[in-house]
């Protein structure tokens, strides 16, 4: 086991990241013609979120809810207790969360943003400031809707796609202390960290940094809450890269991270290997009481939170599978297999390669386009036209507008995310995807910009429409 920083390939297996499973059921894929894709993309206003999945060949839009469940998860569905109140499935999920993550109090929610909504409403008062390691779209929006301003305190390297920093998810402790000094600890309801950091490229936080953030929070009397949506992947990177951590299991690292925080929310649609679900988990009984009270308003009774009993069974099983070393070796190994093909050909991608996706540096690839012409949105469209591969913009469109000024937020990262669902696609699908990127890379000089023709008020990237200039 190597401890050198930033290997782009897993070193836990010397030869292969081969999947620790075989395929029992298959779902047919449809290959479309270029003309069909042109018509579908125009109909979708050049927004890959507005394509119908039947028009997509390889769907790398997201790793959210797109995972393949195991036979154990499918079997667990049959055990779902669909009682309105006091479902056994809830208690099984609660016990799993207590055992794996260590939080005593659990509120199930329909997905991650349901938990983000509740924790934001419980902890935030209007005028508060929430520091965090880079924004995530739904997380920040719920913090803003509760009356807070989000302040980014991630290390500078996170905003530089070429930086090889092994833990680009780390918090810059000086930035965090400055935010607390400037606004006063009483205006900071909590520090909001995420493991891994999605918008930075699926980049991990180091255990040492989380320890230091905890100490800083304690010195200032500020709670620490964590988005643990991709915590198993973050733990894999810590084990791989952080000095002194190679002897720990992923499960132990996961538990250490959670032990350092006052509570967490999770979109179970990622790490936990299901198609729907999420939860909030906290240590403070007062916070729990308020959270489960809001749960009955917005989600459902506090023992189902918008989920069927069978969903909670699948999540409980998925959480246990998510921390298996062989699963994570294959999962991240596949992401890196794709990424290395692009790196070898000189395509600018976010370095080091992250956990759930390969992020193309659209600002580097379409360097002739100003950010106002939405280079990443265009590049995602071009990949779809090229081979029916669906990816997602993570740049100026995703960043949205500043609620105070109404101006575009201009993130330094203008990225296209090629996101890999867990246990779904094969090595050959990764090859097709790499070929599509390389074909667009070859003709990049002739790719033009886009105009935005429709802009929704909230989370505009989901529904905005565009036309070629």
Q: Which one of the listed residues 270, 331, 444, 460 is annotated catalytic?
A: 270
Shortest distance (Å) from residue 268 CB to ligand F0G: 7
CB of 42 to ligand F0G, least distance (A): 24
CB distance 205 to 172 below 8 Å: no
Does 377 interact with ligand F0G (rule: CB under 6 A)?
no
Query: Quick one: which of 12, 143, 198, 373 contacts ligand F0G (CB under 6 A)?
Result: 198
- Cα–Cα distance for residue pair 255/261, rounded to 1 Å: 10
Shortest spacing between CB 86 and ligand F0G, in angstroms: 25
Residues 95 to 134: which contact ligand F0G by CB under 6 A? 111-113
Among 80, 223, 278, 305, binds ligand F0G (CB under 6 A): 278
Q: How many residues bind ligand F0G (CB under 6 A)?
A: 15
Is 234 an interacting residue with respect to ligand F0G (CB under 6 A)?
Answer: no
267 binds ligand F0G (CB under 6 A): yes
CB atoms within 10 A of CB 173: 15
Q: How far is the CB of 277 from ligand F0G (least distance, A)?
A: 8
Query: Binding to ligand F0G by residue 80, rule CB under 6 A?
Result: no
- With H, G, I as helix, E, B as strand and everything else as coil, classify residue 338: helix
395 near ligand F0G (CB under 6 A): no
- Catalytic site includes residue 91: no
Which token pair is 61? 């839009």
90 is catalytic: no
Of 227, 271, 311, 393, the residue at the interface with ligand F0G (CB under 6 A) is 227
Q: Which among 161, 233, 228, 198 is positioned nearest to 394, based on CA atoms?
A: 198
Beta-bridge mates of residue 194: 227
Catalytic residue among 394, 417, 444, 460: 394
Tell me the pairing of strands 450-454 and 465-468.
Answer: antiparallel
How many distinct helices (H) and strands (E) make up the chain?
Answer: 16, 14
Contact 227, 216 (CB under 8 A): no
Give catalytic status of residue 454 as yes or no. no
Q: Which is nearer to ligand F0G, 349 or 392 (CB)?
A: 392
The residue from 81, 152, 170, 227 that is catalytic is: 227
Q: What H or E segment, with its residue span, contains residue 416?
A: strand 415-419
Q: Is 66 a catalytic site residue?
A: no
Separation of alpha carbons 388 and 341, rounded Å: 19
Distance CA 260, CA 213 (A): 9
Determine whether 190 is an active site residue. no
Concerning whether 229 is annotated as a catalytic residue, the answer is no
Query: Taking a C-beta distance cutoff of 8 angstroms, is the pair 142, 123 a contact?
Result: no
Select which of 84, 218, 219, 401 is catalytic: 84
Q: Is 393 in the site for ligand F0G (CB under 6 A)?
A: no
* Residue 194 binds ligand F0G, judged by CB under 6 A: yes
What are the residues whose beta carbons fall under 8 Å from the beta carbon of 12, sequence distance 6 or more?
Answer: 1, 240, 325, 329
- For residue 14, the 8-state DSSP code is S
Q: How far apart are CA 340 and CA 335, in angstroms?
A: 9
Active site residue 137: yes
Q: Please give the residue whose beta carbon sits closest to ligand F0G in the complex.
A: 112
Q: How far is the CB of 204 from ligand F0G (least distance, A)?
A: 12
Q: How far is CA 136 from the centre of its chain?
A: 8
| Residues annotated catalytic, as ranges | 84, 136-137, 227, 270, 394, 461
| Residue numbers at the binding site for ligand F0G (CB under 6 A) | 62, 64, 111-113, 136, 138-139, 194, 198, 227, 229, 267, 269, 278
């Amino acid at each position: 086991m190597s401890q050198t920083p930033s290997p782009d390939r897993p070193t836990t297996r010397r030869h292969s990241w081969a999947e620790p499973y075989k395929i029992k059921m298959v779902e047919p894929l449809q290959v479309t013609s270029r003309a069909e894709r042109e018509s579908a993309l125009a109909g979708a206003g050049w927004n890959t979120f507005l394509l119908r999945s039947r028009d997509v060949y390889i769907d790398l839009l997201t790793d959210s809810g797109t995972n393949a469940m195991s036979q154990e998860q499918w079997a667990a569905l049959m055990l779902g207790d669909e009682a309105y109140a006091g479902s056994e499935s809830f208690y099984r999920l609660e016990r799993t969360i207590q055992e794996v993550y260590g939080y005593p109090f659990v509120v199930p929610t329909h997905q991650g943003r349901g938990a983000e909504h509740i924790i934001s409403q419980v902890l935030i008062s209007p005028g508060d400031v929430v520091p965090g390691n880079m924004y995530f779209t739904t997380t920040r929006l719920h913090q803003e809707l509760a009356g807070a301003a989000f302040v980014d305190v991630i290390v500078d390297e996170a905003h530089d796609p070429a930086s090889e920093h092994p833990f680009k998810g780390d918090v810059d402790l000086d930035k965090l202390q400055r935010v607390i000094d400037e606004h006063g600890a009483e205006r900071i309801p909590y520090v909001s960290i995420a493991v891994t950091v999605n918008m930075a490229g699926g980049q991990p936080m180091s255990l040492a940094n989380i320890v230091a953030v905890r100490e800083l929070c304690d010195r200032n009397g500020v709670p620490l809450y964590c988005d643990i949506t991709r915590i198993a992947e973050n733990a894999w990177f810590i084990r791989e890269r952080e000095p002194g951590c190679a002897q720990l299991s992923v499960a132990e690292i996961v538990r250490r991270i959670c032990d350092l925080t006052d509570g967490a929310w999770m979109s179970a649609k990622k790490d936990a290997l299901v198609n729907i679900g999420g939860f909030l988990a906290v240590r403070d009984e007062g916070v729990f009481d308020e959270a489960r009270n809001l749960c009955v308003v917005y989600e459902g009774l506090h023992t189902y939170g918008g989920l069927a009993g069978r969903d909670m069974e699948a999540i409980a099983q998925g959480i246990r599978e998510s921390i298996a070393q062989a699963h994570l070796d294959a999962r991240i190994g596949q992401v890196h297999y794709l990424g290395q093909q692009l790196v070898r050909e000189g395509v600018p991608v976010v370095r080091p390669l992250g956990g759930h996706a390969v992020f193309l540096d659209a600002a580097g690839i379409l360097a002739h386009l100003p950010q106002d012409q939405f280079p990443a949105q265009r590049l995602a469209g071009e990949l779809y036209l090229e081979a029916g591969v669906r990816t997602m913009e993570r740049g100026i469109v995703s960043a949205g507008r500043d609620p105070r000024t109404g101006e575009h937020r201009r993130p330094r990262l203008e990225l296209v995310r090629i996101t890999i669902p867990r246990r779904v696609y094969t090595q050959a699908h990764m090859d097709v995807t790499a070929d599509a990127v390389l074909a667009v890379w070859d003709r990049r000089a002739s790719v033009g910009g886009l105009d935005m023709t429709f802009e929704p008020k909230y989370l505009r990237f989901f529904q905005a429409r565009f036309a070629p200039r």
